[in-house]
Chains A and B, each alone.
Chain A
Amino acid sequence: MIRTARDVRSSLDIARKRRAYCRTSLIEQSIRDELQREFGAILSDDEKDRIVAMEKRFLKARSDAVKKARMNLLKQKERASVAWSLRNGSDPVEKRGEQENIAEIILRY
Chain B
Amino acid sequence: MSVTKVEVIHPRPDGGFVETPRISALTARAIRYRNAGYPVHLSGPTGCGKTTLALHVASRIGKPVVLINGDEEFNTSSLVGGQLGYRWHKVVDNYISRVYKSEESMSKVWADERLTAAVKHGFTLIYNEFTRSRPEANNVLLSVFEEGILELPRAYGNSHNYIKAHPEFSAILTSNPEEYAGVFRSQDALLDRMITIETGYYDEDTETQITCARSGASREEARKIVRLVRRLRESGFCELAPTLRSSIIIAKTTRDPDGNINGDAFKQVCVDILSPKIGKGKKGDTNPVAVIEKLLNEEGLL
Residues in A lying within 8 Å of B, measured CB to CB: 86-87, 89-90, 94, 98-99, 101-109
Cβ of B294 < 8 Å from any Cβ of A? no
Q: Does B73 contact A (CB under 8 A)?
A: no
- Interface residue count for B (Cβ, 8 Å)? 30
Contact B12 A107, beta carbon cutoff 8 Å = yes
A103 CB contacts on chain B under 8 angstroms: 5-8
Q: Tell whether, in the assembled complex, residue A109 and residue B10 are in contact, meaning their CB atoms are under 8 Å apart.
A: no
Residues of A near B99 (CB, < 8 A) are: none
A-B contacts, 15 listed (Cβ < 8 Å): A89-B89, A89-B107, A99-B4, A102-B64, A103-B7, A105-B7, A105-B8, A105-B10, A106-B10, A107-B9, A107-B12, A107-B67, A108-B12, A109-B12, A109-B59
Selected contact of A87 from candidates B4, B65, B91, B107, CB within 8 Å: B91
Docked CA distance A15–B3 (Å): 68
Q: Do A90 and B158 touch across chains, with their CB atoms under 8 A apart? A: yes
A105 interface neighbour in B9, B52, B89, Cβ under 8 Å: B9
Q: Is the beta-carbon distance between B56 and A109 smaller than 8 angstroms?
A: yes
Tell me, in angstroms, the Cα distance from A8 to B59 when the chains sit together. Answer: 78
Task: Report whether A106 and B9 are in contact in the complex, using a CB–CB cutoff of 8 Å.
Answer: yes
With known contacts A87-B103, A90-B1, A109-B55, A104–B91 Cβ distance under 8 A = no
A86 to B105, CA, bound (A): 11
B107 touching A101 by the CB < 8 A rule? no
Q: Does B37 contact A (CB under 8 A)?
A: no
Additional 17 contacts, C-beta under 8 A, given A102-B4, A107-B55, A108-B14: A89-B105, A89-B107, A90-B1, A101-B3, A101-B4, A102-B64, A103-B5, A104-B8, A104-B9, A104-B64, A105-B8, A105-B9, A107-B11, A108-B11, A108-B13, A109-B52, A109-B55
Q: Which residues of A contact B9 (CB under 8 A)?
A: 104-107
The answer to whether A109 touches B91, judged by C-beta atoms less than 8 angstroms apart, is no
Residue of B nearest to A109 (CB): B55
* Complex CA distance for A108 and B16, rounded to whole angstroms: 9
Interface membership of chain B positions 26-60, coded 1 if the CB is closer than 8 angstroms to chain A and 0 otherwise? 00000000000000000000000000100110010
Contacts of A87 in B (CB 8 A): 91, 103
Minimum CB distance partner of B90 in chain A: A89
Residues on the B chain within 8 Å of A108, using CB: 11-14
User: B83 contacts the other chain (Cβ, under 8 Å)?
Assistant: no
A residues in contact with B2, CB < 8 Å: 98
**Are B158 and A98 touching (Cβ within 8 A)?**
no
Chain A positions within 8 Å of B125 at CB level: none
3 closest cross-chain pairs (CB), A and B: A108-B14, A109-B55, A89-B105
Q: Which residue of A lies closest to B49 (CB)?
A: A109
- Whole-angstrom distance between the Cβ of A101 and the nearest chain B Cβ: 5
Q: Which residue of B lies closest to A108 (CB)?
A: B14
Given contacts A102-B6, A103-B8, contact A109 B14 (CB under 8 A): yes
Whether B17 is near chain A, meaning CB under 8 Å from some CB there, is: yes
Q: How far is the CB of B290 from chain A (nearest CB, A)?
A: 38
Bound complex: CA A87 to CA B6 (Å): 28
**A87-B91, A89-B105, A89-B107 are known contacts. Are A104 and B117 too (CB-CB below 8 A)?**
no
Cβ of A109 and Cβ of B11 under 8 Å apart? Answer: yes
When distances are taken between beta carbons in the complex, the residues of chain A under 8 Å from B59 are 109
Q: How far is the CA of A60 from the CA of B158 in the complex (A)?
A: 44
Q: In whole angstroms, how far apart are the Cα atoms of A102 and B103 in the complex?
A: 32
Given contacts A89-B107, A98-B3, contact A106 B12 (CB under 8 A): yes
